[in-house]
Amino acid sequence: MTYTDFEKFNALTRQQAAVQDEVDRIGAERARLLAQLHIETGLSYANIGAEVGLSRGTVQQLVERGRKILTHEREAAQEREPTVAHYQRDQGWAPDDATSQRALMEGTAAAHGYEIVQWNED
C-alpha cells in the first residue's frame, strides 16, 4: 500500500463511522416508535410484527430497547429540569423561618406543576 492508499483507507473509515452513527440513530428511533405504539395501542408483539413485517421476537426486542430509550430520555429530562430547591440546595441555603419555608415549598411545587392551595402557619 502506498501513502495515498492509507489516506484513502482512513477517509473510508471516517465515512463508515459517520454512516454507522446514522444507522444507530435510525435504529433507536424505530425502537422508540415501536415502544410508543405498543404502549399506546396495547397491540401484541405479533400484531405489530404483522403490520410492520417483523417477527414477534424481533418486535419484542425492539420494544424493550425502545422502552429503555424512553426511560433514559425521561430521566435525563428530569435531571436537566432546574427547580428552586436545586438552586437553593446548590447555594447551601436552607430555610429557617416560616416565610422562607413557604417560598421554598411554593417554588418547588410550581416547578413541578403543582400549586399550594392553603397554607397554615400554626
Q: Would you list the DSSP string of 53-115?
A: T--HHHHHHHHHHHHHHHHHHHHHHHHH---HHHHHHHTT----SHHHHHHHHHHHHHHTT--
**Share of residues in the chain with pLDDT > 70 (%):** 74
Residue 116 has a pLDDT of: 61
Q: What is the DSSP letter of 97?
A: S
Q: What type of residue sits at position 120?
A: N
**Chain segment 61-118, per-residue pLDDT in tens:** 999 999 999 998 888 777 766 666 666 666 666 666 677 777 777 777 777 677 665 5
Average pLDDT over residues 24-39: 95
**Would you say 16 and 10 are in contact if contact means Cβ atoms under 8 Å apart?**
no
Q: For residues 42 and 97, which has the higher predicted lDDT (pLDDT)? A: 42
**Share of residues in the chain with pLDDT > 90 (%):** 54
Average pLDDT over residues 25-54: 95
The model's pTM is 0.58
